[in-house]
Structure 1
């Protein structure tokens, strides 16, 4: 379990927290159609497929790169 959270960043924790929160809201309000959207956010956090597997991050250019 320690290795599972090793390469997590803030974005993945927000996706996981948001998905769990959406599930609680959907169950509380009985809006069952909302659960697939919540599961999508949870899957993005667990499987790291949000933002094309991290390819949307831009690195900070160094003086050698222009």
Structure 2
């Protein structure tokens, strides 16, 4: 499972430097997480590092695809 950034994102840039995989990039309207690059920080940290720094709590676990 990977993370995603919702439309509530305010483009504050707080999450970008926290990502050890460089999976977070500015999209057309707000930041997005590349699902092929996101590992939820596995291999680097015990927990995703972007979630606690987000001031609007817009980073969520992506729902499982059928």
TM-score (norm 2): 0.28
Structure holding more strand per residue: 2
Name the larger-Rg structure: 1
Greater percentage in helix: 1
Higher relative contact order (CA 8 A, sep 6+): 2
